[in-house]
Amino acid sequence: MTGRRPRRAPPAPPTGVLDWSDRRHWARTQAPCRYCRAATFLRDDDGLPADKVCAETALAQRAARTAAAYQNGQL
Ligand SMILES: [Zn+2]
């Protein structure tokens, strides 16, 4: 026994949420969230200021709208 713990792979983010550990999601300066206008250091996938909750809610709403449009034959 070496006394060392086996290395574990980092946990994969759950489906439907963004990986906020990525540096591109963080900025040095605060800016108003594009959805609720509260000051945030976070940036969404488009590089625009967005809180974690706001960005993930918008992502879920967009996915739901796309799924609904697909089911209605609009896509
Ligand atoms: Zn927000």
pLDDT, one tens digit for every residue, the chain (75 residues): 556 776 776 555 555 567 888 899 999 999 999 999 999 999 998 899 999 999 999 989 999 999 999 999 877
Closest CA to 32 of 51, 57, 45, 17: 51
What is the Å distance from ligand 1's center to 61 Cα?
A: 14
What is the Å distance from ligand 1's center to 68 Cα?
A: 25
Q: Please, which residues have CB less than 5 A from ligand 1, an ion?
A: 33, 35-36, 51, 54
Provide the pLDDT for residue 22.
87
What is the Å distance from ligand 1's center to 48 Cα?
A: 11
3 state SS of 42: strand
